[in-house]
Amino acid sequence: MIVENTAEIRKRFTSDRHRPRYHYLPPSNWMNDPNGVIQWKGKYHLFYQHNPHGPLWGDIHWGHAVSKDLIHWMDLPIALAPTSGGPDEAGCFSGCAVNNGEPTFVYTGTRGVRNEIQVQCIATSHDDLLSWEKYAGNPVIGELPPESNQTSDFRDPFVWKEGDSWYAVIGSRIKDRGGVIFLYRSTNLIDWEYLNPLFMSGKKLHGAIWECPNFFKLGDQWVLIISAHTGTATGEVFYFVGSYENYRFTPIHEGVLDYGQLYAPLSFVDDNQRRILFGWVREARSETDQRLAGWSGVQSIPRVLTLDAQQRLLMSPVPELAAIRGIHHQFGPMHLTQTTALEVKGCALDIAATIDPGVNGSCGLSVACAPDGTERTDIIYDTTTKRLGVHKISPEVHGAVNTHIREVPHDLATGEPLQLRILLDGSVLEIIANDRTSITSRIYPSQATSQGVQLLGSKAHLLSLDIWEMPSIWQ
């Protein structure tokens, strides 16, 4: 069953140059967290937090799209809607999908004017994930563990199976202490036993509420991913790598999964045993501008996760993306001693650069450059400070986000070149350096002609640069 007229709805946005072309977003209106991602009978299903009534957060449903290759998507009917009088009457918040013989969602239902009553619910599908029946006995977990000392933040179950048991981690907070992940066990996804906190925040830095936990084995380590909600619009996503014994997690390494606009990621294992992660790419513009645009929120290109020898989390866009690449431009090797404009233009590009940064200098690329130089976004590495920066330079234009500066630590080992993977798609800019430092940005160029690319460098050496023009996935 295809949802009628979504192609027509998508056509309305054809002239919106800030709207991504090869990243998934719903036909219109609001989207936030990825939910319930699962490969079922070979096809990838993506569900997502969705307001079908408008481009701002509210009345949260689960939208649905399906794909054969993680890149091209077909819109499907809404999978979950709040049930009046039910435990999810104010919203169907985030959760996951598991295969329990039949596909099953485990998700958070909310009630109350501020969604302050949060409980865990399940739903099953008997028609290959198209329609969903909520369990009549919902909620399956109705109360917070008392040690949380609060009653309103308890959400986003992430479930996996070990032996004959199902386990769930749920995001929460302990009053006056900070984020916590609670651990539960069940044999049937209906009757759940609380075990203990899996892990809790030791520092204020990790935010007041931990949302959207992911907990899984990767190689011979366990990885915990949490989205730290700090009460502002700038929550951050952290990961921890360590051991899991006696139902408790002990980290040996921690890092930042993304320093920018990527939030509430959700991972799953596909039929090829790859651990793949989607993340919500948040907007960075005003509510008024989101309302005017008629859409808000994008999914990242899914990323394959691995660990390196130092237990750092490595992320690489799925190789399936390469299959849609268009015209290819190649540059280098060459010395970078000054800013050099390239004979490439585009607002949808896939860029892979390898640069020997040299010493005491800086190097990188600019994208979305205006012909007159008044607008551009620089992605630049400083060898002295060992920081990677994203600097948006723009004229004062009403409605655009004019300045966006972010500088984050990125330490290269001796002799290790800087590797940049940059996915530019309208207003989305996914940047991953050396597979381990991710800065997801939004740029909203103010001029249609801001499409140039230039190389930046003072004492660097470009080893290779590949740029592909990217098509729309909706043609």
According to DSSP, residue 290 is labeled H
Q: In the 3-class helix/strand/coil scheme, how is 139-168 assigned residue by residue?
A: CCECCCCHHHCCCCCEEEEEEEEECCEEEE
- Nearer Cβ to ligand DQQ (170/455): 170
Minimum CB separation of residue 446 from ligand DQQ in Å reads: 28
Minimum CB separation of residue 60 from ligand DQQ in Å reads: 5
H-run or E-run covering 251: strand 248-258
Classify the phi-psi angles of 77: left when phi > 0, otherwise alpha if psi is within -120 to 50, otherwise beta: beta
CB-hemisphere CA count at 13 Å for 283?
Answer: 24
Q: Which of 450, 475, 453 is nearest to 465 (CA)?
A: 453
- Nearer Cβ to ligand DQQ (172/186): 172
The first and second tokens of residue 333, run together, are 């090797």
- Nearer Cβ to ligand DQQ (49/451): 49
According to DSSP, residue 60 is labeled B
Minimum CB separation of residue 393 from ligand DQQ in Å reads: 30
Minimum CB separation of residue 92 from ligand DQQ in Å reads: 9
Residue type, 410: H
- Nearer Cβ to ligand DQQ (208/212): 212
- To the query of whether residue 289 is one of the catalytic residues in this protein, the response is no
The first and second tokens of residue 469, run together, are 């023009």
Minimum CB separation of residue 202 from ligand DQQ in Å reads: 21
- Nearer Cβ to ligand DQQ (256/412): 256
Minimum CB separation of residue 57 from ligand DQQ in Å reads: 6
User: If you search the block for the tokens 């399956």, which residue do you land on?
Assistant: 140
Q: Is there a contact between 392 and 368 (Cβ–Cβ < 8 Å)?
A: no
117, 239, 309, 395, 436 from 312: Cα distances, Å = 37, 9, 7, 38, 7
Q: Which of 158, 30, 42 is nearest to 96 (CA)?
A: 158
In this structure, what is the dihedral angle of CA atoms 27, 32, 34, 36, given to the nearest 10 degrees?
A: -90
- Nearer Cβ to ligand DQQ (236/375): 236
Minimum CB separation of residue 200 from ligand DQQ in Å reads: 17
30, 241, 278, 279, 423 from 52: Cα distances, Å = 7, 37, 21, 20, 28
Minimum CB separation of residue 237 from ligand DQQ in Å reads: 10
Options 33, 153, 350, 356, the catalytic residue: 33
Minimum CB separation of residue 79 from ligand DQQ in Å reads: 15
User: How buried is residue 137: exposed, middle or buried, by Cβ count under 10 Å (0-12/13-18/19+)?
Assistant: exposed
Interaction site with ligand DQQ (CB under 6 A): 32-33, 49, 60, 93-94, 108, 155-156, 211-212, 227, 263-264
- Nearer Cβ to ligand DQQ (237/439): 237
User: If you search the block for the tokens 């450059």, which residue do you land on?
Assistant: 369
DSSP string, 427-465: TEEEEEETTTEEEEEE---SSTT--EEEEEESSEEEEEE
Angle at 435 between CA 434 and CA 439, to 5 degrees: 90
- Nearer Cβ to ligand DQQ (216/263): 263
In this structure, what is the dihedral angle of CA atoms 239, 245, 250, 253, given to the nearest 10 degrees?
A: -50
Query: Which residue is at the shortest CB distance from ligand DQQ?
Result: 93
Active site residues: 33
